[in-house]
Structure 1
């Protein structure tokens, strides 16, 4: 979609602009003189228009267009003249003052007029010819060069005037400098903030935050700022000054450097601020910079008309009981944010962490952590209430609380106001800071599914509400059948799923058991294969499918998902609500072998937690999506999972060499590093990464976070090279570009097919998804004739879709070479540019048809189909670039390579 290249113009070639009569026109590359005038009028420094550069019709006068036909064209002499430039690009009109009136003083101005009525007196002034004689004063006025003063006197006056003028100019210059210095003098930080805003060095949200935080700084602090003291460390700077410097430098380093240079203040050097980050507030308790970052995020969302909504997650991780002397004190004791209270404080054995996860965004941020030994439900409730108070104070709307199922958490929810008893279940409690809002309770669905698996496997038998028997034995027999045959029937049931007791903490082992694929295979063995050991497994099949449907609905993470994995929308509310209602009644109707309801037995936590989560997600859906004024278009239930916090724990363990039980000091160091900058890739731990939710950085501007930054070389390559195939987007008959299409010869097709087989071999080593791996090869097709000729049994037979990707990649590479005149492109963005172009060129070719449904199993950013196309294109591009580099080397060396020949001759001759 072309966009207008004019400064400040936001027009793009879309249907809305066309309806409004806006057209887009190419630069006249065929007319050098007019092209130069166009470029001068656009006023873009160091910029040269390319074939895809466009200007919209709003920058031309009406008489520049030829509207005689259906297509709006520019006239042959049309030049853009209408632009909206900022002040520094506009020409300032110079207005010349009119010259001052010059006249000689009239000595007779004060004299009374003569009486000209007297004829005799009138005739006395007439000459003999009857004409009046000129007066002396009039002669002086008509001829100012006439003077009665000497030349020496005039020179003396001129020198005196020149000297006086020089003194005035010096005085004026001094006054201007003093005025400029006075303008730079400030007596409050508010003046600095307003100056930064006038210079457009900080955003509005940063301005408001700085004003609200530092508007009433004391005069003593400003006196120290104005006095240029040679401060050596953080001790010499007051806390307010340190906080101001760190906050401003965090939002804009350019603004901070501008203040230090312009206002001549005693602000710390940026290197010193970086040293302060090393001792930033990462101690136990609520992390203060977290809430500052959340406040900035709230302000940015409000400007976009968006409300900041999040879910609060609480969990704890075991740590090692360990005491060490660090920073002049012993570390390793219980610490809830106020330090070690007394000598009898016990050693900490767990760390309790709270995290906020955005429901309508893609960020998460730890709110604080606490080293604990044991903490009652009442104490946890007080901690959670304080957390909700702090979130409400910065403008964040917290709608849910997620935890797992220990008894202390049930006591915590009971203290907060929630009732988890089945007879009168109310899985919500009033917001501590706003009683009109309800906070809904989630018990982590993955943990609840694991508890249900444990109860089912240990008991062996469950009964549904109709008395039908559900047997764990059926699942064990299916696994035995697959192991004996040596082949699986399209499911992930393995021995590890049956022998789960050795890996109790692995949640994915439970999800693979409660899956529709296992239910389908049980039904197939019973109804089609007629195997006797699977007779009477209908209740087991129904149980597995119901749990699988409920879990998928409570774990949706892709806006484009289908079936039960689809997000909850107003358009599918009937189906989703039906699944939730049926799942609620089915789970509550389950009984043990003795006929006692499972939700009332000793192992009730998993069943109650699953029912509470279903009711909570239904309530949140009605509040945020299915209401009169919805604040969200859909609801992704994966946002309420504890996986986000488990991934943080995994990253902490990764920082310590995957130590499952770090010490308090190790956890504190890892937390501070993750908190300041999240660069550690976590391991899988008890869960895997399913979406792109990132930790909200508190030392980078929250409004300008770019998750996938592009390098300068990549941007330069993409701008210089037109590698997008297809027809022109705008039919402009005056300026025809070079056709952007390349034919591939039969010989090149043979070579590409052969190279694609090598691409398959490389991709198989790097792909973890078995579905994507299967899509690389074609086991049923005949293959290319050249492939059949060269194959001796060890070549990989690529799929037609993969061959198409490689062919399109070759076309883009040829266009790349043609755009540079046959020269190799410089920079690191060639592979990214080509792969993006291939993805766009193949968008309408429906490649890898067997992955059409698989692409909806992951989040939008992790689309496996797009990733597979890009990986294949990048791999093929790398192979071809190595080949092109080798060819260039051989062409440069030519026939003058004599080193090997002469070295051999010399060695043998001597």
Structure 2
């Protein structure tokens, strides 16, 4: 039911990863290229229908590129066939196909009306039904075991919610928080709420992800991913300290082979020759990060329960030398950020496994509700 899980699968990163495995390593069959192209198409379409700003998610403005994407996507759903294990078409039973077509046509018709009223752009995220689902979820919670409230129960729940907590998101909802609670506090000092609408910077919140692979060389798909992460760390260091030496080094340190940077090329959203603005490390720096990774894998399980685990790994990395030409390069920050990122994603992965084992879907929810009446 959670949309975010589908977004994580049908994403640009998954498409780039599949292309990396297929193009560079031939691990996946030839059909993987077509699958990756479909995933990329769905990611582009979702971004188009989920725009909320002009930066990370560009607003819908009816540009030629956006209209072409809608036309191509509509034709894709128009010709899409879904077959069961017997080879019979399941198209009529699957309502999402007609739903996508209706959504795309509706967006075009709505845009025609908005253009007549001189609107310049449209934040398409405002068209989703998350706010409505949040409200109905609160109504159902107010009715106790009555998952299908009567009209009287609905009216009473509506009055209660409107008076007390209409803008609260229901716990365990499968849709995004619509942050409508901001409407209750609109004034001239709304800047203090800006952090609610954007993701926090990873360098400020003690972040991490655990990989169980032992990277033997940079040409492996896992090594490709590590090159990408190393470039991210260097880009964050440029925010801490910027000088001509650091900028020139970051833009000229592409001594990695094409095979080693395949994922970065595919991950870039714009010109792949310049890696879409991505920062690439030198081969030496990437190799040093691999050494840090191997140390983390070796010691993490034995020291995970200790206090000061971050300082433990920073001490282990004290001999790391990146051979950076700038004497003011923030090496300590580079190591600290790597440790935080690594631990964060490690714990996130472990916590997710624990959560999946502890909270399983209730198989007989309706039966349990009847037993409690």
Bin for the TM-score computed over the shorter chain: 0.3 to 0.5
Larger radius of gyration: 1
* Richer in strand (by share): 1
TM-score (normalizing by structure 1):
0.21
